Structure formats: C-alpha cells, structure tokens
Amino acid sequence: MMEKPFPASKMRNIGIIAHIDAGKTTITERILYYTGRSYKMGEVHHGEAVMDWMPDEQERGITITSAVTTCHWRDSEIHIIDTPGHVDFTIEVERSLRVLDGAIGVFCAVGGVQPQSETVWHQADKYRVPKIAFVNKLDRVGADFFGTIRMMRDRLGASPLVMQIPVGSEESFQGVIDLVNMKQLVWEEETLGETFEVTDIPEGLADTAQEHRNNLLETVAESDDKIMEAYLAETPITADMLVPSIRKATIDLHMVPVFCGAALRNKGIQPLLDGIIDFLPSPVDIPPVEGMDPQTGEVKRAPCSDNAPLVALVFKVLMDEGRKLSYARVYSGRLTAGEEVLNPAKKTKEKLARVLAMHANKRQRVSEARAGNIVGIIGLKASSTGDTLCDFSNPIVLEPIEAYEPVISVAVEPKTHGDQEKIGQALAKLEAEDPTFQVKYDEDTGQTIISGMGELHLEILVSRLKREFRTLVNVGKPQVVYKETIKQYAEAATIFDKEIGGARHFGQVSLELSPRDRGTGNYFTNTLSEEVLPLELVSAVEQGVMESMESGVILGYPTVDVAVVLVGATYKESDASNLAFKVAASMACKEGLQRGSPKLLEPIMAVEILVPEAFVGDAIGDISARGGRVENLEPRGEMRAIGTIVPLSRMFGYSTALRSATQGRGTFTMHFSHYDEAVPAHPAP
C-alpha cells in the first residue's frame, strides 16, 4: 500500500483483544516501536500512547475507539486494530473482529482469564477468527503463567499450545525459552528491549524445557500425521517441520499458540511479531467472504483477488473535524480514489473522494486500496457501519454487523439557547458513529434522552459533546432502559369506523396475544385466507401491531417477546383502507397487552467482584441486599472472584460502596447478561 504494494499473501489483518488493563495498547506501542513505525514508545499511563489519541483516552488511560495502523515485519505488512477492553465499548470489538483475519488475545498473568477476556474471545469464536495468545505482565507479583493456561482451557474451551515458557517469575523474570527452536531468549534492559540474546538453555532449565517441548510435539502430532510419524520414530523434529503444521492447526481453529512476556519491560514482543507472521492467516488463507445477491437472494463468494469485482465492508464511521471518515475492509477487487461504487443495502451510489492509509489518527492519501487492505475513505454520504460497497455490475450484500441494545439512558438538555441549535446536529453525528448509542425525543416531557451501554459510555459521549462539538449540556441522573412484556394469553377485538377527509374508513380486527420465551422477540402471524382479508390489509395490520409494541402500556417502554396472531377481520370493500386496519390493529394490540398481565422487564448484569478473602462475606452480603444472586466463588491468586447476577438498577454507585467496604482493595467488572422480570420491590422509574 505504500510505493510498492504488498501481495495479499504477505498481509496480516489482526486485532488485539483483551480485558481492560491487560496491556493491549502497551503491546501495540512496542510493536510500532520495534517495527520502526514509531521513533519512541508512548506509555498509556503517561497519556502518550499513539493508538490512544482521543483526549478522553489519554486522560483516563483506557482505549475507547478502535484505532487502525500499519507496520512492517519480516517483509510482510501488518494492519493492526487496537480494540477497547471496557465492556461499554464492546461494539468496537465486534465490528473490528468482523473484518479481521486473526487476533491476539492478551491475558494478564496475575488476573488470568477475566470476564471481558471471555466476552471478546467468544466474539472472535463467533466470527471463526484464528487466534494466538500472549500472557503479559509476567514481571508482576502474583504472576502465574501456567495458571493462566489452565484458565484458558477451563473458561474459554480453548486448546492452548505453549510455545514458550518464562525464565524466572515476578521481579526475577528475565526472558523466555523458545520451545520450537529450544533456545533461551533474554532481553537487554539498556536497549529498551530492542536487542535480545539468544543462548543455549541453561542446565537447570533443560529438563523442564524438554518436558514442555514433548507436550508441544504430542499436541501438534495429534493433528499432523508427518509429525506423528517423526515423533514415534524419535526422528529430530525441526522448526521448519513444526511451523507449517502449527500454522495450519491455528488457521483451522484447532489450537492457540501461546507466547509470553512483560510488555511494559519490553520483553517478549519480537517473538510475538514472528508468531503473527508464522501462525496467523493472510487474506488468501481464509475462505472467500460470502454475501447475498440483493436481486436473486443467491449466495455469492468474493475471492481475495485484486482483479475480481470490488467487494468491501464499511465497519466503522468516525466524524473527524466535521467530515465523515469511513473505515473499510477490502475483501476483493480494488477501491480507487475518485471512482463511484454501489451501496446495495441503501440502493445508492457513493463517490470515493479520497482513500487513506491509516496510522491511528494520522493518515496518508493513496490512489487505491487492494484486496486485503484496511483503509479510510472520505466522501461516503449514505453508508454506515455494516454496509457493503461493490461494483454496479456485481451487486452483493455482506452480512451486516450486529449491534447491541442500550441498557442505560440519561436526559440531556442544552445549557444555553446557542447550544440548543447545535445539540441536535452533534447528537446525530455521534449516533451515526456508534450503533449502540441512541437518541430519542420524549414528546411528553420535551426532553432529549440518550441511551448507551453503560455509565462510562454516556459519560464519554457527553464529554465529546463538550470537547468536539463545543456544546454544553445539563445531564440528568442515569435511568435504566426497561422493557415490557405480558405474562398470560389474551384476546382483543376492535372496530375502527370513522369518516376522515370526506371518506369513510372501516376495519375490524381480532387478535390473540401470548407470551414468548425471553429474548425471542416479537412475532406476528396471520391465520386468515386472502378471501377473508387481502394481503395488502394484512400488511397494514402487521404494521399497526408492530408500531403499537414500540411503546408499552405500563410506562411506555418497548414491548418484547410477544406473539400476536391475527384470527379474525371484517372489511367492507368500499370503505376498507390501510389506515383503518392499521389503527384497528394498533388499538386491539394495546387492549390485548392490557389484558395480558403486563410486566416490566429490567436489564440484569453479570458482575464479577474481585476482593481479598477477608472481605468476601461483606461483598456477598452487599450484593444480596441489592437483589443479586451469587453464581460462583473461586480463588484468583491472593484474591477471591465472586460471580454474580444483579439488576442494573441496583448497581448505581456500587464502585464507591465496594471501595469503602474493602478498604479500597475490591474491584468489579460488569456486563449485560439478559432482561428479566423486574423485582416487585423495585420502585418504578
């Protein structure tokens, strides 16, 4: 993508995924330094990380938005996406994994496999993304490399393949033993880890190293007959034999090569870079991406070739200084600056004003992007996250990116009349960027309600309103986003008979409503033949039903998990209209919801609390008082991890309560689990 384009076989599109604070951004900074992309290492805790370029990221020392960069290693081009670890920004991980070919799962050697590590790992599994792992922070007190490996097996259902074992631990951690080449690697502190010494394995570690190498050979032999034959015949097995075999097993999702080190102390990064090249797939190693022909519905495949028709996926939209910057992965063909392409989902043509090679928030104009590239595009007007770009002659729609439902909302109002005019435009731009952020105007109160994935998510969006859009707002207290449903079967029938604008509108509808399993959504079905009610009027009934469920009968929250069956209708040919049947269906649906024993549903969160053993009783007592339920309790080094399920409404202000109950030593992580019936004792919002 620079002067001399790299062939797709020499590209790696990878993401770094992990729990918050496992060291993802620190590892990325080291990679950029050792590959010559950066002249100095930026530290997250100093607010200097290249990839954390937003002011909010630098202040908080966390990653909020996934940043894309390009670097080079061993005559290959690596595109890296550094993703957030905080659960409020899960959509950033989801949409990154959707377009990546491989991932590095980073684990803290002290914390092991933490809750958000599980979430992002399973997201990668969903998209069948091959992975390698890096166990970080081996220099920290309480580091346990093999404990983390066990947790990978138990919690993730992964098949870790130990490629290295640490030399020393905690403060005495010096380097690693490479089990493929059977050499010791020790990094030199004074060169910032840029150089390391490769030596023979010391006598004291030789037996341990041989034992772990035998385990590695046995594991690889299970999936490769040639290695199995050599192993049984006790023939020497070289790195040249092992690497292709491990690569194939990794790409086939049979195993996860595991590397280790301490990124902050600059140890272990170069072998990890080698692992990216050796074991993670290039765009040509993965099956062609599949999509659907929007005209025929047939499945189409897009091969990774520069000469095939264009197929690209927009996976992220960013408002940059008032201009829309779209990130896209090119699966097939070429994206050429200045050309027009088709967005088949929106049925519009789009002009590619500029194509940009990205390095965090810096960029370089390029004339074209080829199959396998991840680039920025300026000029797209209608396209948003999950849209496909393709040739006019070869329409194809790729599977869109799944968004998550917001669970928390706050009311915002402008501080001044000047802010009043700006707030609408600013919120619309933020909503275009983030599929998990929703803006709604409440007619009853005249308030603007913004909804998101958590308190931090909304806090950062409000901060961006202030910084980027210079819009000052007053923010209300956070409110839980409830939903409504029914508990029992109900019937309802309504007649709509009115004269509107000189014409009579008549429609009569009978509906049956019944509850569905939690999380299955709303469902409408029609039992009437076309003679009883024409299909056009059935569509009007369905529209009326679905629209009426957008606002429930208890507090106006959306109604979910209800099956509605159209069982009866009467129409007069002269007076029948779509309007009459839509309104009749809406009224009947509302009546049925009233009779079906309506209930409020609230978001239930999975919460993991990490506390010293002395405070376990206090922490469990507090969670029980909040209506929570303890699911599991397990040791985690010196600490105890308490897995619980708690209503979100009871978790406001929990961090302060936990800190004071544990003398500041307790921490917790929380992510959305499911919706369930609101506990009766809970006051309505």
Please report how many Cα atoms fall inside a 13 Å half-sphere around the Cα of residue 574, on the Cβ side: 3
Pick from 311, 303, 335, 269: nearest CA to 71: 269
pLDDT at 343: 95
Tens of pLDDT along 44-103?
Answer: 444 444 444 345 545 544 444 556 788 899 999 999 887 765 556 667 777 778 889 999
Take residue 585 and report the two structure tokens written for it: 């269906």
| Structure-model confidence comparison of residues 176 and 325, the more confident one | 176
pLDDT of residue 2: 42
Output the 3-class SS for 77-138.
EEEEEECCCCHHHHHHHHHHHHHCCEEEEEEECCCECCHHHHHHHHHHHHCCCCEEEEEECC
- Of residues 178 and 467, the one with the higher pLDDT is 178
* Contact status, residue 378 vs residue 325, Cβ threshold 8 Å: yes
* Residue 537 or 669, more confident: 537
The pLDDT, as a whole number, for residue 318 is 80
pLDDT at residue 405 tops 80: no
The answer to whether the CB of 601 falls within 8 A of the CB of 560 is yes
Alpha-carbon span 460 to 449, nearest angstrom: 15
Phi-psi region of 181 (alpha: psi -120 to 50; beta: other; left: phi over 0): alpha
Q: What per-residue confidence (pLDDT) applies to 49?
A: 45
Contact assessment for residue 620 and residue 630, using Cβ atoms and an 8 Å cutoff: yes
Query: What is the per-residue pLDDT for 654?
Result: 86
Give the strand pairing for 11-18 and 102-108.
parallel
496: CB partners within 8 A, 6+ apart: 505, 506, 507, 508, 580, 581, 583, 584, 587
Q: What pLDDT does residue 446 have?
A: 73
Report residue 34 as tokens.
Answer: 């050792």
Burial (Cβ within 10 Å: 0-12, 13-18, ≥19) of residue 574: exposed
Say if residue 39's pLDDT is above 60. Answer: no
Name every residue whose Cβ is closer than 8 Å to that of residue 94 and which is 6 or more positions away in sequence.
Answer: 123, 401, 402, 404
CB atoms within 10 A of CB 645: 17
Tell me the C-alpha to C-alpha distance, in Å, between residue 185 and each of 106, 296, 522.
Answer: 20, 57, 58
Hey, CA dihedral for 203, 220, 121, 76, is it positive or negative?
positive
At 545-555, the pLDDT tens digits run 999 999 999 98
pLDDT recorded at residue 669: 77
The one-letter code for the residue type at 216 is L
pLDDT tens digits for 624-652?
999 999 999 988 767 888 999 999 888 88
Task: Tell me what the mean pLDDT of segment 345-374 comes to.
Answer: 87
Q: Which helix (H) or strand (E) holds 145?
A: helix 145-156
- What's the distance, CA 564 to chain centroid? 33
Nearest to 564 by CA among 591, 599, 530: 591
Closest CA to 267 of 26, 18, 19, 12: 26
**402 pLDDT exceeds 80?**
no
> Over 441-468, what HEC string results?
EECCCCEEEEEECCHHHHHHHHHHHHHH
Whether residue 18 contacts residue 123, with contact meaning beta carbons closer than 8 Å, is answered with no
The predicted-structure confidence for 611-626, as pLDDT tens digits, reads as follows 888 899 999 999 999 9
User: Beta-strand (E) ranges in 333-472?
Assistant: 335-336, 340-343, 348-351, 354-359, 362-366, 368-369, 374-378, 388-390, 397-398, 408-414, 438-442, 447-452
pLDDT at residue 332 tops 80: yes
Binning pLDDT at 50, 70 and 90, where does residue 1 land?
A: very low
Residue that is written with structure tokens 């060169």 in the block: 191
pLDDT recorded at residue 643: 92
Single-letter code of the amino acid located at 226: K
Instruction: Map residue 241 onto helix, strand or coil.
Output: helix
pLDDT at 417 over 60: yes
Q: Are 438 and 451 in contact (CB under 8 A)?
A: yes
pLDDT of residue 45: 43
Tokens 């089990």 sit on residue: 179
Listed in sequence order, the residues at least 6 apart from 576 whose beta carbon sits closer than 8 Å to its beta carbon are 506, 507, 537
Q: How far is residue 662 from each of residues 123, 298, 364, 615, 658, measured CA to CA in Å?
A: 33, 59, 50, 6, 6
The C-alpha torsion from 213 through 216 and 218 to 223, rounded to 10°, is -150
**pLDDT surpassing 90 at residue 469:** no
Phi, psi of 375 (to 5 degrees): -135, 170
Which is nearest to 182 in space by CA: 167, 200, 196?
200
- In eight-state DSSP terms, residue 70 is E
Q: Do the Cβ atoms of 522 and 564 come closer than 8 Å?
A: yes
3-state secondary structure of 514: strand
Token pair recorded at residue 535:
């299909």
In this prediction, what percent of the chain has a pLDDT beyond 90?
A: 50
CA pair distance 549, 560, nearest whole angstrom: 7
Confidence class of residue 4 from pLDDT cuts 50, 70 and 90? low
> pLDDT averaged over the chain?
86
pLDDT at residue 351 is higher than 70 = yes
The top-scoring range by mean pLDDT among 5-9, 204-208, 255-259, 531-535 is 255-259
Confidence label for 240 from pLDDT (cuts 50, 70 and 90)? very high
- In DSSP notation, 562-607 reads EEEEEEEEE--TTTB-HHHHHHHHHHHHHHHHHHT-EEEEEEEEEE
Two tokens at 634?
């397990």
If you average pLDDT over residues 234-260, what whole number do you get? Answer: 94
More confident call, 333 vs 434: 333
What pLDDT, on a 0 to 100 scale, did the predictor assign at position 444? 65
* Separation of alpha carbons 430 and 401, rounded Å: 18
